[in-house]
Amino acid sequence: MRITRITAYQVDLPLHEGRYAWSGGKSVSVFDSTIVRVETDEGYAGHGEVCPLGPFYLPAYAAGVRAGLAELAPHLIGLDPRQLAVLNEQMDRALKGHAYVKSGIDIACWDILGQVSRQPVCVLLGGRYGDDFVLYRAISQGTPAEMADSVARYRSEGYRRFQLKVGADADTDIERIRAVAAVLRPGDKLVADANTGWLAHEAARVVRGVEDVDVYIEQPCLSYEACLSIRRRTTHPFVLDETIDSIEALLTAHGDDAMDAVNIKISKFGGLTKARQARDLCVSLGIAMTIEDSWGGDITTAAISHLAHSTPPEFLFTATDFNSYVTVSTAEGAPQRNRGRMAASTAAGLGIAPRWDALGEPVLVIE
């Protein structure tokens, strides 16, 4: 089987809440997503999606996905999409770095492998654990009262894990964490994600200011070293995200006892192949994970669901259902949240079919 054509589509994904805001005054109101289609000489076609969290979150941007695909895709025509390791090695030979560019192609090839072998991707990634898995809800940054109201509303919809977007003024962030903690019930879990937004002195004040609150602290500072410094000053469970984008970074952080949990975003590692490698390493090392991506719609959510559902539940801290945040559906068959939980499709591959009316005309065709 050979790859004969790689096509990219651009889709705007507006938000039900209107906008999503996080540290440093950053916000997005319409996400710019790229859907990748990989076609073969045997009639199989697979799909993937890459959607950066704006151009100012990770070193990734939406137009960069398309520019990178134009550079990379000609090197992949003729390769066997089922041979994921060979394909990834070829992608790394053809384009150094730019993991996020490669993610959509890798996901699409897993979709093809699943269709050819007539298995859902989660089975190929190791197997399905239980009926479903746990989700968290990201709470866009607002006033303490707004964020507490938002948590109460999503709690009533079934979510039990919440990730607050903090990383602003330290005193207000302490108020945000306290206001939200007051509306939670025993068994709920709360994460304060600063998304690199605090300087070390501010992070130190926040962790001390919420010392009596049951809250996880996620990626307080920009640098790994500053995060490690705060980690060593607090007893709160600690999550790293932005600074962990490779196996090397994961091993360094584990060696430093720098985290209790890590956020595995599929495109941050470069696709399901490498995210799965990180996931399996975390299981071996005893590190819990949030499994998600930077953002996305139905196809990203389907990819997340297969990686999350094939992760041992005691290691899956949370996962994300981005398709319930956005107003546009790009694929049929995508998983849907139910009372704060989700299940991967039992159909072959990712279990999705693109909605062509939502995708429109391709913006890139390589054959």
Residue whose CB is less far from Mg ion, 132 or 193: 193
Is 356 in contact with 5 (CB distance < 8 Å)? no
| Chain residue whose CB lies nearest Mg ion | 241
Site residues (CB under 5 A) for Mg ion, limited to 157-196 = 193
Q: Return the exposure string of 293-323: e unless at least 16 CB atoms fall within 10 Å of the residue's CB, then b.
A: bbbbbbbbbbbbbbbbbbbeeebbbbbbbbb
Which residue in the list 26, 165, 268, 274 is annotated as catalytic?
Answer: 165
Find the shortest distance in angstroms from Cβ 243 to Mg ion: 10
Measured distance CA(230)–CA(250) in Å, rounded: 18
Nearer to Mg ion, 193 or 293 (CB): 193
Q: Any idea of the CA torsion for 337, 341, 346, 348, to the nearest 10 degrees? A: 70
Whose Cβ is closer to Mg ion: residue 9's or residue 57's?
A: 57
36/192 with CB nearer Mg ion: 192
Radius of gyration of the chain (CA): 20
Q: DSSP code of 354?
A: E
CA distance 166 to 195: 8
Min CB(253)–Mg ion separation in Å: 14
Each residue 193-212 as x (binds Mg ion by CB under 5 A) or -, in order, gives x-------------------
- Quote the least distance from Cβ 339 to Mg ion, whole Å: 24
- d(CA 297, CA 305) in angstroms, rounded, equals 12
Please tell me which residue in 26, 96, 102, 265 is annotated as part of the active site.
265
SS3 assignment, position 263: strand
Q: Which of 241, 245, 298, 321 binds Mg ion (CB under 5 A)?
A: 241
Q: Do the beta carbons of residue 353 and residue 330 sit within 8 Å? A: no
Give dist(CA 130, CA 323) in Å, integer: 22
Q: 180 with 164: CB under 8 angstroms?
A: yes
Q: CB of residue 192 vs Mg ion: minimum separation in angstroms?
A: 10
Query: For residue 236, how many other CB atoms are within 10 A of its CB?
Result: 22
Give the residue with the Cβ less far from Mg ion, 84 or 147. 147
Is 189 noted as a catalytic residue in this protein?
A: no
Backbone angles phi, psi at 81, to 5 degrees: -70, -15
241 vs 298, which CB is nearer to Mg ion? Answer: 241
Report the C-alpha gap between 167 and 158 in whole angstroms: 26
Q: Any catalytic annotation for residue 265? A: yes
Cite the beta strand spans of 81-140 per DSSP E: 133-134, 137-139
Q: For residue 242, give Cα distances in angstroms to 56, 88, 211, 332.
A: 12, 22, 24, 31
DSSP state of 109: H
- State the minimum distance, in angstroms, from the CB of residue 218 to Mg ion: 5
Size of the site for Mg ion (CB under 5 A): 2
Cβ(34)–Cβ(69) below 8 Å: yes
Q: Is 39 in the site for Mg ion (CB under 5 A)?
A: no
Question: How far is 236 from 280, CA to CA, in rounded Å?
Answer: 25
Q: Between 262 and 344, whose beta carbon lies closer to Mg ion? A: 262
**Among the residue ranges 79-87, 184-192, 235-243, 273-281, the one whose residues contact Mg ion (CB under 5 A):** 235-243
Both tokens of residue 251? 């091993």
Contacts with Mg ion, residue ranges (CB under 5 A): 193, 241
Catalytic residues, by residue number, are 165, 265
